[in-house]
A and B are shown apart, each in its own frame.
Chain A
Amino acid sequence: MSMDENKALRLLGRVLTLSRLRVQSAVPQDIVEELTKLTLENPMLKQGLPVIIDSEHAIDLAWLVKVLKKTGIQVLGIADGILHDQALALDLPILPPDHTQGSQRQASPPSQNARPQTAAAALPKLPAKMLTDPVRSGQQVYAEHSDLIVLAPVSSGAELIADGCIHVYGTLRGRAIAGATGNPQARIFCKRLEADLVAIAGIYMVADQIPSQLLGKSVQIRLTDDGNIVIESLE
């Protein structure tokens, strides 16, 4: 309704794709060398690619941001971890840590390692949000800090968003965006797949890209270890 356009502020549930720049060495010269190689291989880095810095090493964040800025990369924030305090000091946004790294943390000073683990575990999980009426075109539902269960059809043009998993025990014709705050373990389940778009932790797949033999079937949708969306039949 055009009534919305009169409000001063509006919260829109848009999914953005950001790149993570993972720092895997504490040695500045190595970082600069690798950065030069990266920018040669990926010219788009110079065009202001927005990144989140993800580091387990206690590097000098202010220095890194300056070096990246010179290359043209825009630092939008950091993934919560060892650089937490430095980010606070620099007024940089701190985003949830990357959950897939949970078991593979490198040997940094153990006390500082503890924080990222507890941050991941501390994500509050509320009981699932349950809907029993059809979700109509143009409606948007957000299950914050929980899973979303829908026991009715979801129309084309409707949007389901959840921080956790999404279950549709009916026909999914709209959009399903799971793991909305970055949880790559989130999955989407539906009884009949006819979705416009599916996304998990920011990785998305549009209707055109869905393999035709899976349309109309009961499926689960998840992210593989290397960050690709895979759709598997449940039949």
Chain B
Amino acid sequence: MAKIIVVTSGKGGVGKTTTSASFATGLALRGHKTVVIDFDVGLRNLDLILGCERRVVFDFVNVIHGEAKLQQALIKDKTVENLYILAASQTRDKDALTQEGVERVLNDLKQDFEYIICDSPAGIERGAHLAMYFADEALVVTNPEVSSVRDSDRVLGLLASKTQKVEQGRGRLKEHLVLTRYNPNRVVKNEMMSVTDIEDILAIPLLGVIPESPAVLTSSNSGSPVISDKNSDAGVAYDDLVARFLGEERPHRFLNPEKKGLFAWLLGS
């Protein structure tokens, strides 16, 4: 039975697309047929992050409006078997999405795929609403920063009330906290909220902590998801996250400041 997972946050720029790309890639690398859909109509980014921006012919909106078949719009990833991308339209806007259209496309995708990842746009308007509406589970991406936490909290309220599963009384969405851009050095100095502070406020289970990392920018520039950079802390953290999602027990890393070796300390790095 296919699972629909929304990656949402409320706040913009916290790492939804970065997380969607790495999360979908991680699932596909472990043998699960996965499709990731960009719901940010007009401001699409997922195709850039996954390096397929030069292969987009038809998009999600085309399929909804019957202008193209789903098979024509789905882009197969060049490096990862099992991974497919459905890009958003860049020329239209969010009004081009309809609830019936989205439902139809998702039902079609459920026939072939194990995991359907919906990369939500920022905000709580139509695009975000439709990205979460049909979901079974949610990854709530949050930065350790007050406005992001409050926005995530708002989104959690919406996930618990304005989704089809809840409206039809079929239970609740499973919510997972993904803390991104975490910097333990600043946490220790009391400049940044800690994991426990955020867990206290949001009260949902922690799926993973992704450290602030230069690898994220490098990866997006090269059009490959950061999880593919096995030498980076962020890449490894995303890999841990996917493993945990699939039921493996992995301790959380990158929560404490790195202990510098003697040499590093002497050289003042």
Contacts and interface: CB of A to CB of B under 8 A. Distances in A.
Interface residues of B, number: 15
Given A1-B125, A2-B125, A155-B201, A133 B154 contact: no
B203 A134 contact: yes
Nearest to B125: A2
Contacts of B160: 133, 136
B193 interface: no
B70 interface: no
Interface in B150-180: 150, 153-154, 156-158, 160-162
A1 B129 contact: yes
Contacts of A133: 160
A137 B157 contact: yes
A152 interface: yes
A153 B124 contact: no
Contacts of A152: 203
Interface in A132-154: 133-139, 152-153
A175 to B, nearest CB: 14
Contacts of A72: none
State the main secondary structure of chain A at its contact with B.
Answer: loop
Contacts of B124: 1
Nearest to A156: B150
Interface residues of A, number: 17
A157 interface: yes
B151 to A, nearest CB: 8
B227 to A, nearest CB: 30
A139 B124 CA distance: 14
Interface in A163-182: 171, 173
Interface string B128-142: 010000000000000
Given A1-B124, A134-B203, A153-B201, A139 B129 contact: no
A156 B200 CA distance: 13
Interface of A: 1-2, 133-139, 152-153, 155-158, 171, 173
16 contacts: A1-B129, A1-B158, A133-B160, A135-B157, A136-B153, A137-B153, A137-B154, A138-B154, A139-B157, A153-B200, A153-B201, A155-B157, A156-B153, A157-B150, A157-B153, A157-B154
